[in-house]
């Protein structure tokens, strides 16, 4: 800075240099970073006072550390509550509908890739189809019901994968004494651990959703055929 200014000057930055030709008619207030430099030439003319403004905000690194310390336990708590909620819902479904649960678990085990394809296609096409139905106006209630049905089945998809994995492991190791509730608990725990894996957890989340949704839709289709 080396110009003439009649009024007050306030500057801030990492490096501030007031040159010999600088002329300030009033006060000079400046704020620099913790690692910054403030150079004031002895030949500069400052009519008023020279004031240093102290930084009162925490450094960015400290703020990020504080946020991470809060976010990590909160994220863990949400995951635990989500798992426990899914476990309770699964137990209720097993109690009320044990035979359909077994049929769906067999569908998960025996047709992984067909289920994956069905789930992928349905999920990709569902939202554009619902949007087109909504545009008609008359189909708005149908679109709303279909959307709710889809969301419920997206939630049930991971439960279906949980029971399928639990049954597959129990068959592999011949755990005949473990109840269906125990098999579901083991399978659901593995499902959640896979979904929360660093870097690749999102891949497992998509695969689990597609395969589980495909198994559920196949079960619904076969159920309609028998009626």
Question: What pTM value is reported for the model?
Answer: 0.68
Reported as half-sphere exposure (CB side, CA atoms, 13 A), residue 53 has a value of 13
| DSSP assigned state of 1 | -
Q: Which domain holds residue 71?
A: 61-225
My answer on whether 92 and 129 are in the same domain is yes
Instruction: Quote the CA–CA distance of 92 and 38 in Å, as a whole number.
Output: 69
Structure tokens at 18: 């007031």
Q: What is the pLDDT of residues 163-213, one digit of tens each?
A: 999 999 998 888 888 899 999 999 999 999 999 998 899 999 999 999 999
- Same domain as 131, residue 36: no
Domain count, the chain: 2
Do both 14 and 42 map to the same domain?
A: yes
Do residue 115 and residue 162 come from a single domain?
yes
Asked whether residue 101 falls in the same domain as residue 153, the answer is yes
Q: Show the tokens assigned to 153.
A: 């089945």
Over residues 29-39, the mean pLDDT reads 70
Asked which of 56, 78, 94 is the last residue of a domain, the reply is: 56
> Is there a single domain that holds both residue 25 and residue 83?
no
**In angstroms, rounded to a whole number, what is the distance separating the alpha carbons of residues 201 and 49?**
59
- Give the span between the Cα atoms of 192 and 109, in whole angstroms: 18
E strands along 73-147, which residues? none
At residue 58, the pLDDT reads: 46
| CA 144/CA 139 separation, integer angstroms | 9
**Residue 70 structure tokens:** 């809060």
- Our CA angle for 150, 151, 153, nearest 5°, is 65
142-153 pLDDT, tens per residue?
A: 888 999 999 999
What does the alpha-carbon distance between residue 94 and residue 202 come to, in Å, rounded to a whole number?
A: 27
């Amino acid at each position: 800075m080396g110009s003439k200014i009649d009024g007050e000057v306030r500057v801030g930055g990492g490096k501030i240099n007031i040159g010999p030709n600088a002329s300030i008619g009033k006060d000079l207030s400046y704020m620099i970073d913790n690692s910054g430099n403030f150079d004031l030439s002895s030949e500069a003319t400052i009519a008023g006072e020279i004031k240093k403004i102290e930084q009162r905000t925490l450094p960015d690194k400290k703020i990020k550390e504080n946020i991470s310390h809060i976010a990590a336990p909160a994220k863990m708590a949400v995951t635990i509550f989500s798992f426990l909620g899914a476990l309770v819902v699964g137990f209720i479904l097993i109690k009320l509908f044990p035979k359909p649960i077994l049929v769906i678990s067999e569908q998960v085990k025996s047709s992984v890739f067909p289920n994956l394809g069905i789930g992928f296609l349905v999920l990709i096409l569902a939202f554009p189809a619902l949007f087109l139905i909504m545009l008609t106006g008359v189909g708005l209630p149908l679109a709303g019901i279909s959307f709710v049905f889809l969301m419920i089945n997206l939630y049930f998809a991971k439960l279906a994968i949980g029971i399928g994995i639990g049954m597959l492991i129990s068959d592999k190791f011949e755990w005949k004494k473990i109840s269906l509730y125990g098999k579901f608990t083991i399978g659901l725990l593995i499902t959640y651990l896979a979904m929360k894996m660093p870097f690749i957890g999102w891949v497992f989340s998509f695969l689990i959703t597609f395969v589980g949704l495909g198994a559920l839709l196949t079960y619904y289709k076969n159920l309609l055929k028998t009626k």
